[in-house]
Structures are given as C-alpha cells and as structure tokens.
Amino acid sequence: MRAYVALGSNLGDSQQQLLDAIEALAGLPDTRLLARSRFYRTPPWGMLNQPDFLNAVVVLETPLLPHDLLDALLGIERDAGRERGGERWGPRTLDLDLLHVDGKTVSDERLTLPHPHLAERAFVLLPLSELSPDLEIPGRGRVVDLLRSVDTQGCEVLA
C-alpha cells in the first residue's frame, strides 16, 4: 500500500527530529521510503501562541494496514519524546499524521482516512503537492486544487 505521512515539530532540534522520524519510518517492517518533501517552516495552526513548525511529507510503500501503521507512528512519536494529553494543537517534539492510504477509507474512534483536516492545512498541502500534486483525495479533490484554496502566507520552503 502507498501511504502518505505528514511530519511536524516545533520543540527541540526540529530538523533533527524530522530526519530521525524519516529514518524510523523507512525502517518499519518491509516498508520502503518512496519520497520525501523538502522541509517547510510554517506558522502554527490551531493554537497560535507557540513557535513556528517545521513540516514535511513522506510517501511510503508498506504492507502495514492503516491501524498498524498508526500504531507504528505513535511509537515513533513516543520514542521522540512526544507526550500526548497536552493542549490540542500545542507545541510538540514530533507529530506524525497518517494523511491518506491509497484505496483505503477508515472512520472509527482511532483513525479517519483520509485525514479529516488535510484539505484545510497549508503545512500539509504544500509538501504533499510537491510529491503528488495530482493525488485524488476521496471526497475532497486533487491536492493541487486543494492547495489553491488555503492561505500559504508565512510558509517558507527550507531545503
């Protein structure tokens, strides 16, 4: 399965957090990293009184089912020192969001695919459009078209 994962960090050495997370994602069982976006510095979303984020998106080829992949993402976050239970959309060492898995839709108490806020977030759509601009998000449209409808002001590509 092809899976799209968003990465974000705004605490500690954010660039290193993202690099370590990308390495951990590539090391998941029988999983291959197909592509990674450049890093983007983006303003916070939701809770505005916090440092800017570094964000990226990766594309994985993996046999892991969506819930198993979610569990792996949560484990990588924990290993990076992420503690859940704080303020929603608050600062974090690492945030990994499963955005989309080709051919899969899920809606339960643990996971919604495609990600319910994907179409609203420039910090997701910018790096995602770099990798897969024509990706069709079920019920929402193509990534390139979704990107046209969000405010990208304050977002800066780094490398």
Active site residues: 82, 92, 95, 97
CB atoms within 10 A of CB 155: 19
Taking the mean position of all CA atoms in its chain, how far away is CA 120?
13
Helix ranges restricted to H, the chain: 14-26, 66-79, 122-131, 143-148
Intra-chain end-to-end CA distance of the chain, in Å: 27
CA neighbor of 8 nearest in space, from 40, 34, 48: 40
Please give the Cα distance from 73 to 79 (Å, whole number): 10
